[in-house]
Structure 1
Amino acid sequence: MKSLIICCLLLLTLIADHAPAGNPYYDFPETIIAHSQDNIKNGTLSQLLAICGYYRESMQYEDSLGAVKLSLASYKVTAAKPVIINEAGKYRFLLINEAHNRPQHRLFTKSLLKELYAKGYRVFMAEGIQQGNTLSAKGYPVSTDGRLLNEPNYASLLRYARKLGYKIYAYEYEPPKQTWDDSIKLDQYGSMKYLSYEPKDSMSVIRNKNGEITWLHYTSVREEQQAANIVKVMKENPGARFVIHVGYAHLQECCYMMTSQLKTLLNQEDVFTINQTNLDERRTILDTATGDIVSRPFFYLLKYKDQHKFYRNAEGGAVDLNVFNAQLKDSLNRPGYLWMDVEKRFPYYIPASQLKDGPCIYSAYDAAEYAAEGSNTIAKDVICVKNVNAAPPLLLYKGNYTIVKKMQDGSYSSFTANIP
């Protein structure tokens, strides 16, 4: 009997050791922070936390932003989406940006796609997609298609675009080498200039006395090549309209930024640019006429009451529209932005029998994708449960799921779920 028990224990140990693993991007917040200390100031840590769903934690590693002051008496509050859809019919290219640690920007772009498709938009391009990806071959994104895509809402954006009928392309410039040849220290605060001799390229990073990045300057190599890649895709799709989901200031229609380079290649054809990043939910919007803080229950624009023009924030650069991000309340201990998804989600509570080993990470994968890709699969949703008595639900679309559970010791187990 003792021998039988020992054999059973050994078998269970072997099964646990060989349990299918989850995507390694989905980890405990303290582990991500401990492994990413060198990435705090360049924004990568904030992005890694957002990938795993630690939205509030990710904001702790962002620079502080001053209040935006304006007089609401001069403006009319207008929902952003109807204006964007109406204006989009006038253009061949619609470009909208994101902050890489803001999943709600991906969901807002997602909310536009169906109506844009009806307007003739047929190609979707995104900065987060790497060249050489397998999206077309597999029909869904995988971890190696781009680091940012591991954030479940980014992958959801791509899956939804494909479901609507969009052709999906990468446009990112990937230099032949990934490191700089040389660097020059500019001051005692850690400001640096990085140099590449062949091809000629450089980047300057200016920091203040607190070590915070206050200015980034690139030469135009990346911007030019991104624009050239977009034009190449355009030539492959004559007659199409294009939705391009870009990062940060690449959106600007001035200086050497990508959109400016694109317009040059298009003989100054006008394009439609929408900035989501400079008026995010952390910014305080102060009404100078009343002294009140302006509420933001939805994504909106401010339109001048006596003109056909919209508010432009100088920090947003040369763009057509600046979107005021919604300040959404959390619900069921999940970020409020998840509830604005145009595809309906359903709360799924982890069974009590699966909560006993907490704290744990639970990542929910499409069952068919996980069977094919294993740990290279991108989850539909991820949660971290630290208090088993207040476990938040996964928010899942209809379908069959493999839910992978990661314990603090790094071991994995899995179980299945169905959302009918």
Structure 2
Amino acid sequence: MRATFHLLIAVVFFTSCKEEKIIEQVDFKTKYMFSSEIESQLAKDTVSWKYQIAASQYATKGDYKNAMNQWDIAMGIKRKGFTEDRVDSINQKYTKVNANDYILEQAEKNQVIIINEAHHNSFHRSFTKSLLKQLYDLGYKNLGLEALSYKDDLDSLNNIRKYPIQKTGYYTKDPQFGNLIREALEIGYTLFPYETKNEEANGKPREIDQAKNIQKAIEAKPNEKFLIHCGYDHALEGNYDYWEKAMAGRLTEYTGIDPLTINQVKYSQQSTSEYNFPLLNALDIKESSVIIDKKGKPLKHKKGDAWSDIAIFHPTSTYINNRPDWLFKNGNQNVTINLEKIQIEFPIMVLAFKEGENINMAVPIDITEVKSSKETCNLGLKKGTYTIVITNGNESLKFKQPVD
């Protein structure tokens, strides 16, 4: 845990663009890790999954590029692309349609939607967030999150506090996951956890527990619709070798409901385009898409005898000052934080909190690390007023930042 402890004593003024800002020293503590700490831990760790851990740690601190890099190191990905003739054949075989539009069209016919994520890929959380309002308008009032911890005061989360804190979960510390939760609560969703409470349960017992917990939530509201956000293979229907059935398959077994299952993981971008799944590159994806064959059927994600109904193809990110372009879309502005006159030793972490939220408890709206005062600091923020906290692990400062 990183911590800084200072009295609120110094008040400094500097001019930025249109207005004068007041900077205060502040007591602040955070568990977010600097890149140097992650790298140091990587150098010391001997476990085979250390790069997967690092990928999640980078994702949690808003470093999408390094999260992608570490995951590819962990997986040892090597792929060969398609020939030009094969690429032409694929594009003649399939039609690309907007993923949001297609999912919403299918959502009207279903009671339960299950969508997955890779735990190192923050964009998957952002995409699920993009669906929330329109799904709510279609009757999806309940959001089940695998990552939601029972340690949080869930009644307060849903009805009083209305924002995620550090106890809300492990993966929910990622600002993009936190924003998914915030938006769901603002829209009016009821959030519920469904992870097994048995910390020893894994494999088949875990899938059973998850499905039974979701079953209880559905049986309590039999006339309502449910959106379930899970990790990786939990969204598989049918028979699955490792667990006999994954959570989605068990849910059908226990409830008789055939969910709409959506896979975001299979065809997601890697750290470089040469590591991408060849089909993603062949299709030249410009927006999140579902691909439809000549019979009007969507391409599924298949894994042995198991499947998810829809495979989503997301576009490969481009970067603006080392931050992914999608961070500045869907209502977010690219906000430059002026650091030139900040009197603090670099590197620093810059965290944006929604005004009124407890900065020592809340999950930030966005985070980025800046190594020197000459670097540009960009945050993805909606209109509103934010508390910007700057820390180097020993000293912390804060000021207000309006976004018009």
TM-score, scaled relative to structure 2: 0.82
- The Cα offsets for residues 71-91 of structure 1, whole Å up to 9 and x where unpaired, read as 222111222111110011111
Aligned to 1:50: 59
1:345 maps to 2:333: yes
**Shift of the alpha carbon at 1:411?**
2.8
Q: Is the 8 A contact 2:115 2:229 kept in 1?
A: yes
> Structure 2 stretches of 5 or more lacking a match?
1-5, 11-24
Compared CA separation, residues 346 and 355, structure 1 to 2 (3 A): farther
- Name the CA distance, whole Å, in 2 between partners of 1:84 and 1:139: 27
Aligned to 2:152: 133
- Name the CA distance, whole Å, in 2 between partners of 1:46 and 1:312: 27
> Structure 1 stretches of 5 or more lacking a match?
1-11, 179-200, 202-217
**Counterpart of 1:405 in 2: which secondary structure?**
strand
- Name the CA distance, whole Å, in 1 between partners of 2:81 and 2:255: 34
Query: Which runs of structure 2 are paired with 1:17-416 in the superposition (5 Å)?
Result: 19-25=26-32, 27-35=33-41, 37=45, 41=49, 43-62=52-71, 63-65=75-77, 66=79, 71-134=90-153, 135-136=157-158, 137-175=160-198, 177=199, 218-254=202-238, 255=240, 256-267=245-256, 269-282=257-270, 283-286=275-278, 293-305=282-294, 307-315=295-303, 317-340=306-329, 342-354=330-342, 357-370=345-358, 374-407=359-392, 410-416=394-400
Aligned to 1:193: none
**Shift of the alpha carbon at 1:355?**
6.3
**Counterpart of 2:308 in 1: which secondary structure?**
coil
- Name the CA distance, whole Å, in 1 between partners of 2:126 and 2:266: 17
Query: What one-letter code is carried by the residue in structure 1 that aligns with 2:146?
Result: E
Moved more, 39-48 or 134-143: 39-48
**Shift of the alpha carbon at 1:311?**
2.0
Q: Is the 8 A contact 1:404 1:413 kept in 2?
A: yes
Aligned length: 359
Query: What one-letter code is carried by the residue in structure 1 that aligns with 2:184?
Result: A
Compared CA separation, residues 68 and 265, structure 1 to 2 (3 A): farther
**Shift of the alpha carbon at 1:332?**
4.4
Aligned to 2:19: none
- Name the CA distance, whole Å, in 1 between partners of 2:127 and 2:279: 25
- Name the CA distance, whole Å, in 2 between partners of 1:68 and 1:275: 22
Q: Is the 8 A contact 1:380 1:396 kept in 2?
A: yes
Q: Is the 8 A contact 2:125 2:176 kept in 1?
A: yes
- Name the CA distance, whole Å, in 2 between partners of 1:160 and 1:39: 37
**Counterpart of 1:123 in 2: which secondary structure?**
strand
Query: What one-letter code is carried by the residue in structure 1 that aligns with 2:39?
Result: I
Q: Is the 8 A contact 1:22 1:363 kept in 2?
A: no
User: Percent identity at matched positions?
Assistant: 26
Q: Is the 8 A contact 2:194 2:213 kept in 1?
A: yes
Q: Is the 8 A contact 2:301 2:309 kept in 1?
A: no
TM-score, scaled relative to structure 1: 0.79
Query: Which has the larger Rg?
Result: 1
**Counterpart of 1:402 in 2: which secondary structure?**
strand
Query: What one-letter code is carried by the residue in structure 2 that aligns with 1:146?
Result: G
Q: Is the 8 A contact 2:194 2:214 kept in 1?
A: yes
Q: Is the 8 A contact 2:387 2:399 kept in 1?
A: yes
Q: Is the 8 A contact 2:353 2:364 kept in 1?
A: yes
